[in-house]
């Protein structure tokens, strides 16, 4: 099964080489030429010994020198072209692999990012792809040179002297045997090393992004001990991998050295008693000794190749990670893809949402969160979703945004199943304000442009000012051109929330989703935004997840969620009169807020 998996992985990677098959063929031909040039040098030396050194004469030396220099220059030219082409192949294949990973990551749904760490993803996109491209560009062609040179040595020795050739021929099976033996073990250990490396990358990522949290919790020591455990495991595996390579390489050198010694002994006898030219012995000895370099190259390449197979598997697993949410080919042909949308074909969105006999359970869950759920939300309706923390308030929102799809039943937007119009069209018409907003690197204005890049700056500022983003800009030295930092780290949590809110408003969406949108804002600013929100929500369908029940009293429909189930629905007055779960939540929170105000 592992071998079949490796073959599938290699086939998947092969498509990244097809655009550069001519360059790869050129490099391959150059390596064969280089092997031939390298094979010719011992023959030049043999000729010089037999025709110039032994007879002590220099006739024909200028021609010989010219030919020798010509071969060296041709070898240098081939090497220069090879290095240039291989470098280009490495850079382009690495770029294509990273691009393919990035594109696929854009297609994967929210479920993948919920279960996968940043370090895990970065290790595959950056480290593994670079290792694969380096092995393809350099190690693979080095192996071709080593193979061509080894075959050439064998043929040359048999032509010069069959007995000398037999010594090398007998050594090859031994080299092949130890190579197969060590290759399997190096591959297995290489997989473990890569896994530990991914854990280290993940630890670094979490340590950096959570540095402030670690300091406030005073868990630096625990983080250090955990990191020590991971790096110790990595060290153990890496040392074992290096030990295997360290045993294999000297063994290969030892075998080739013994072969060279036997040739020297037997060749010396032939020169002394059978009249074999001294130049032939010199060439044979040079060829036998020269086997050390290709054998060491083969040892190194096989070790790198075994490790690279692990890289290939890891990248292949990423590229074949299934997409839970996909559009049909017909939908993609008409509406486009996330990276190539066809916005000119988007019909206008009114914002009517309907759950029609919807049942849903999460892909990794066994129990249904919704069962035969029906709800029709007319365009322009405000739906509030309330419940205790962890009750499952986000399930409905995730379905509306198509982060997940109904297990059965239909979810209709403007009277049509939203799977018939594609994710691009749906997300184009939705504005989403998260409880923990994430701003993109750049300025405040840059973040607003992401939502509506065609609008002029003044219109962007005007729309953003509806939720008081102008107050944030005016309070900062750079105004609208203030850098927000990675994730918005240069702004306070409240400022990030307001800019995130403004970004959603600037988009002018037909459906607006507010997930605890005012949780990080001070009470005074919240009151202002709540007033502005009432105007903004007019004419838009909105889903409001709120912890503070006082902010949703004017909602057209309130859904109460408990343990992942909708237990009540109605207006504020209706739910208060029924004195059920909503009544209990509202009165409990009202008393708590009243007590807090009294204490202040």
The winner for highest mean pLDDT among 15-19, 493-497, 592-596 is: 15-19
Q: How far, in Å, CA of 429 to CA of 510, rounded? A: 5
Average pLDDT over residues 353-381: 86
Q: How far, in Å, CA of 75 to CA of 238, rounded? A: 37
Q: How far, in Å, CA of 279 to CA of 209, rounded? A: 67
Q: Which two tokens stand for residue 315?
A: 């990248």
- Cβ atoms of 506 and 464 within 8 Å: the answer is yes
pLDDT of residue 323: 83
CA atoms within 13 A on the CB side of 91: 6
User: Percent of the chain having pLDDT more than 70?
Assistant: 88
pLDDT of residue 268: 82
Is residue 531 predicted with pLDDT exceeding 80? no
For the ranges 129-143, 262-276, 554-568, the lowest mean pLDDT is seen at 262-276
For 267-290, write each residue's pLDDT tens digit: 788 887 777 888 887 887 788 777
Burial of 115 (0-12, 13-18, 19+ CB in 10 A): exposed
pLDDT of residue 229: 84
Q: How far, in Å, CA of 451 to CA of 429, rounded? A: 11
For the ranges 216-220, 394-398, 417-421, 566-570, the lowest mean pLDDT is seen at 216-220
Concatenating the DSSP letter of every residue in 460-474 gives HHHHHGGGTHHHHHH
Concatenating the DSSP letter of every residue in 94-122 gives HHHHHHHHHHHHHHS-HHHHHHS-HHHHH
Is residue 520 predicted with pLDDT exceeding 70? no
pLDDT of residue 582: 86
Band of pLDDT at residue 598, cut at 50, 70 and 90:
very low
Beta 430-433 vs 511-515: how paired, if at all?
parallel
Band of pLDDT at residue 431, cut at 50, 70 and 90:
confident
User: Percent of the chain having pLDDT more than 90?
Assistant: 16
For 25-79, write each residue's pLDDT tens digit: 999 899 999 999 988 888 888 888 888 888 878 888 889 899 999 999 999 999 9
For 408-420, write each residue's pLDDT tens digit: 999 999 999 999 9
Is residue 260 predicted with pLDDT exceeding 80? no
Is residue 165 predicted with pLDDT exceeding 90? no
Average pLDDT over residues 527-534: 70
The more confidently predicted of residues 6 and 396 is: 396
For the ranges 59-63, 182-186, 447-451, the lowest mean pLDDT is seen at 182-186
Band of pLDDT at residue 597, cut at 50, 70 and 90:
very low
Q: What is the pTM of this model?
A: 0.71
Specify the long-range contacts of residues 68-75, CB closer than 8 Å, at least 24 apart: 68/44, 71/37, 71/40, 71/41, 71/44, 74/33, 74/37, 75/34, 75/37, 75/38
For 307-363, write each residue's pLDDT tens digit: 778 788 888 888 888 888 888 889 998 988 877 888 888 999 999 999 999 988 887
Is residue 178 predicted with pLDDT exceeding 70? yes
For 225-243, write each residue's pLDDT tens digit: 878 888 888 888 888 888 8
Is residue 148 predicted with pLDDT exceeding 50? yes
Q: Which two tokens stand for residue 585?
A: 């939540």
Q: How far, in Å, CA of 239 to CA of 189, rounded? A: 10
For 75-85, write each residue's pLDDT tens digit: 999 999 999 99
For the ranges 162-166, 218-222, 279-283, 558-562, the lowest mean pLDDT is seen at 218-222
Average pLDDT over residues 571-582: 88
Closest CA to 248 of 208, 190, 295: 295
What is the overall mean pLDDT for the chain?
82
């Amino acid at each position: 099964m592992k071998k079949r998996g490796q073959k599938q992985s290699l086939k998947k990677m092969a498509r990244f080489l097809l655009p550069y098959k001519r360059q790869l063929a050129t490099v391959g031909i150059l390596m064969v030429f280089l092997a031939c040039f390298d094979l010719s040098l011992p023959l030049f030396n043999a000729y010089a010994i037999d025709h110039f050194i032994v007879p002590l004469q220099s006739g024909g030396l200028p021609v010989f020198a010219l030919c020798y220099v010509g071969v060296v220059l041709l070898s240098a030219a081939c090497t220069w072209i090879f290095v240039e082409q291989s470098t280009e192949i490495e850079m382009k294949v690495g770029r294509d692999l990273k691009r393919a990973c990035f594109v696929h990551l854009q297609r994967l749904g929210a479920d993948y990012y919920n279960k996968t760490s940043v370090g895990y993803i970065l290790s595959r996109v950056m480290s593994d792809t670079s290792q694969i491209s380096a092995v393809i560009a350099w190690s693979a062609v080095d192996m071709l040179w080593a193979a061509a040179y080894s075959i050439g040595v064998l043929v040359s020795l048999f032509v010069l002297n069959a007995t000398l050739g037999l010594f090398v021929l007998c050594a090859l099976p031994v080299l092949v045997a130890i190579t197969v033996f060590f290759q399997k073990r190096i591959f297995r250990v290489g997989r473990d090393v890569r896994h530990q490396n991914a854990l280290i990358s993940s630890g670094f990522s979490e340590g950096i992004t959570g540095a402030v949290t670690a300091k406030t919790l005073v868990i630096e020591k625990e983080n250090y001990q955990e990191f020590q455990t991971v790096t110790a495991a990595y060290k153990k595996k890496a040392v074992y991998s290096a030990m295997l390579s360290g045993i294999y390489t000297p063994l290969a050198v030892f075998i080739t050295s013994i072969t060279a010694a036997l040739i020297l002994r037997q060749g010396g006898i032939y020169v002394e008693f059978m009249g074999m030219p001294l130049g032939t012995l010199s060439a044979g000895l040079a060829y036998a000794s020269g086997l050390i370099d290709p054998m060491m190259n083969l040892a190194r390449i096989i070790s790198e190749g075994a490790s690279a197979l692990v890289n290939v598997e890891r990248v292949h697993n990423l590229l074949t990670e299934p997409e839970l949410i996909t559009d049909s080919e017909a939908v993609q042909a008409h509406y486009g893809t996330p990276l190539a949308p066809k916005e000119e074909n988007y019909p206008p969105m009114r914002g009517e949402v309907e759950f029609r006999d919807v049942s849903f359970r999460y892909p990794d869950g066994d129990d249904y969160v919704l069962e035969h759920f029906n709800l029709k939300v007319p365009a322009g309706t405000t739906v509030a979703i309330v419940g205790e923390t962890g009750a499952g308030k986000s399930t409905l929102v995730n379905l509306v945004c198509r982060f997940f799809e109904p297990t059965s039943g239909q979810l209709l937007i403007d009277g049509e199943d939203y799977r018939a119009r594609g994710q691009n069209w749906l997300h184009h018409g939705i504005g989403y304000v998260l409880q923990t907003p994430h701003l993109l690197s750049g300025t405040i204005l840059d973040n607003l442009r992401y939502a509506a890049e065609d609008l002029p700056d003044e219109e962007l500022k005007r729309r953003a000012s509806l939720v008081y983003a102008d107050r944030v800009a005016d309070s900062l030295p750079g105004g609208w051109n203030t850098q927000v930092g990675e994730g918005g780290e240069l702004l306070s949590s409240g400022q990030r929330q307001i800019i995130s809110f403004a970004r959603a408003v600037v988009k002018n969406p037909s459906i607006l989703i507010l997930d605890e949108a005012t949780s990080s804002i001070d009470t005074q600013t919240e009151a202002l935004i709540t007033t502005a929100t009432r105007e903004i929500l007019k004419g838009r369908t909105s889903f409001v997840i709120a912890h503070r029940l006082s902010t949703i009293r004017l909602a057209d429909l309130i859904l109460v969620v408990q343990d992942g189930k909708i237990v009540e629905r109605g207006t504020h007055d209706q739910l208060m009169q029924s004195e059920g779960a909503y009544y209990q939540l509202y009165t409990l929170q009202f008393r708590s807020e009243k007590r807090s105000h009294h204490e202040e």
